[in-house]
A and B are shown apart, each in its own frame.
Chain A
Amino acid sequence: MRVFPRIVPVADRAVLIELGGAVGPEVQAQVWALDRALRDDPVAGQVELVPAMVNLMLVFDPLVTDHAAVRAGVEGRVAALAEAVVDGAEREVLVCYDAPYAPDLTAVAEQAGLSSEAVIAAHLAGEYRVAMYGFAPGYAYLSGVAEAIRLPRKAAPVRGVAAGSVIIAGGQCLVTTLTMPTGWWVIGRSRTRILTGDEGRPFLFDVGDRVRFRRVTAAEMEGGA
């Protein structure tokens, strides 16, 4: 019996479309492909799509359609899904690893058994993809952190971590948009705005985009060069 896609009703106005049980590049690629297909060719009454790691949620207008009609529309699009992978646009994020912007760089280096420069090199070498957004506006979870610098979260969160911090935990990296507590490791700071302030494209990334980090000095970081 084929388990996936599993299409589960959510309340009166959504379905959760599950494409796999465990996180992995193949399932993720299917999520992005279905997200693209449903954006290009929405089902009647579709209000929004929320892609995540192994599934996506389709929210619909219950005054216009219902779960059964949406399910049929989704199944049709899943069946027609090409093998083609979603390439994703490439986005660049500037990052400064200098003091005082990288308070945890030394601790990460110690735990990873690397020099600070090697941690930076490993971070810059990562092939990042925008896996999903969550937590707060503009919090884009990037997959692709190198094995060598994967650490569990800190035992307790640290308060007041500045907006723009580049933080890592496990296989994920993100650039914060709010000053908030976090238990992730702060290895740098970026002045690249994920919330762009541009009405036409208010968020720097879309899900599935590729992200490259480019190193800048503290002077460049502060000078706005």
Chain B
Amino acid sequence: MMSRAILRVVEAGPLCSVQDGGRAGLMRFGVPGSGAMDRVALALANHAVGALPGAAAVEVSLGGMMLEVEEGALTLAVAGGGFVVEAAGERCGSWQRFTLREGDRLAIRRGPWGAWCCLAFAGRLEVEPWLGSAATHALSGLGGGQVTVGRRLVVQGARVLPPGPIACPVWARPRGEVAVVIGPQERFFGADRVEVLLGATFRLTDAYDRMGVRLRGPSLAPEAALAIPSEPVLRGAIQVAGDGVPAVLLADHQTTGGYPKIATLVGSELDGFAQLRPHAAVAFRAVRPDQAVAMARMRAAALARIMGR
């Protein structure tokens, strides 16, 4: 029987939003891919409730969230990070599937590890897509939108499934050492700067949102004050401002920019990197482009094995 469930947002921290697998192909119009910060978490949460890996879900930040079911009953899944989850009075953690009924509350709070989790719904989250995707672009608010107090989340075709745990792969943990491909603008930096990037330990700072995160560590200042023409930017780029401070650009990054990029995170490292919290330590390890491609293929194969495809 097709049915509907409605959940009201009782509490929501900043940066909670509707996300999905993202919108590809529109960077030429200034539109980044957006989508979940941790795409593995999104795929596994959706998989646990029988949804497509890139289906619309709610991404929860360290600020946490509380929902109350106003109508209906449905099964939900939380994957990503080590959040503390309390579902209808039962305390569990991320990586669980559970059912809520009318009047039940769900609380998701920061736990021992991780920075983002995804809340997926057995059913279809009713959202207004923008350019073919429900992913929310934080700066403009376009897409499925921020999830703020008072908002009602409507799930069509809500279903109830048996509860149970979701296996958390080891590579879904935060990554304190991430693989990068040097470049594409490393020529603006002295060789010693690349050595510093690869030899030093950096820390994430509180200047962290869905667009990117500034790092703290030794200066990576380019050789000269630069006025390079604005260039296209890829998610995962480590760009260095004139003051030598590096930043890693994330899901809602600007699509072009005039700061040189000393290195770029391999795509399969982005999910684990996003699970690092502000003040966490991170080190960078260089791989060749062909090794980076091999990493992408290994990750895709590992995910496919879990999803049984």
Residues of A participating in the B interface, judged by any CB pair closer than 8 Å: 8-14, 16, 22-23, 47-57, 59, 62-63, 66-68, 132-141, 177-178, 202-203, 206-207
The contact sample of 28 A-B pairs, CB cut-off 8 A, is: A8-B183, A9-B183, A9-B184, A10-B181, A10-B234, A10-B264, A11-B180, A11-B236, A11-B264, A11-B266, A11-B267, A12-B293, A12-B296, A48-B28, A59-B234, A62-B292, A67-B293, A133-B28, A134-B230, A134-B254, A134-B255, A134-B257, A135-B255, A135-B256, A136-B30, A137-B26, A137-B31, A207-B28
Q: Is B285 an interface residue (CB 8 A)?
A: no
Q: A51–B29 Cα gap in the complex (Å)?
A: 9
Q: Are B267 and A50 in contact (CB under 8 A)?
A: no
Q: A121–B25 Cα gap in the complex (Å)?
A: 37
Near A by CB (< 8 A), chain B positions 253-309 give 254-257, 264-268, 289-290, 292-293, 295-297, 300
Q: A80–B231 Cα gap in the complex (Å)?
A: 24
| Number of interface residues, chain B, beta carbon within 8 A | 41
Instruction: Name the residue among B28, B255, B268, B293 with the largest chain A CB count within 10 angstroms.
Output: B28
Which among B28, B137, B230, B231 is the interface contact of A16 at CB below 8 angstroms? B231
Near A by CB (< 8 A), chain B positions 175-189 give 180-181, 183-184
Q: A9–B184 Cα gap in the complex (Å)?
A: 7
Q: Are B256 and A134 in contact (CB under 8 A)?
A: yes
Q: Is B139 an interface residue (CB 8 A)?
A: yes
Instruction: Name the residue among B137, B181, B289 with the largest chain A CB count within 10 angstroms.
Output: B289
Q: Are A133 and B29 in contact (CB under 8 A)?
A: yes
Which among A14, A52, A132, A137 is the interface contact of B142 at CB below 8 angstroms? A137
Q: A14–B183 Cα gap in the complex (Å)?
A: 11
Closest to B131 in A: A202
Q: Are A11 and B256 in contact (CB under 8 A)?
A: no
Closest to A204 in B: B29
A8 — which chain B residues lie within 8 A by C-beta? 183-184
Q: Are A13 and B140 in contact (CB under 8 A)?
A: no
Instruction: Name the residue among A13, A49, A66 with the largest chain B CB count within 10 angstroms.
Output: A13
B268 — which chain A residues lie within 8 A by C-beta? 12
Which among A12, A63, A133, A136 is the interface contact of B292 at CB below 8 angstroms? A12
Q: Are A48 and B31 in contact (CB under 8 A)?
A: no
Q: A177–B137 Cα gap in the complex (Å)?
A: 14
Other contacts beyond A11-B181, A53-B231: 11, CB < 8 A: A10-B234, A10-B237, A11-B266, A13-B234, A50-B256, A52-B256, A53-B229, A57-B234, A63-B296, A178-B140, A202-B29
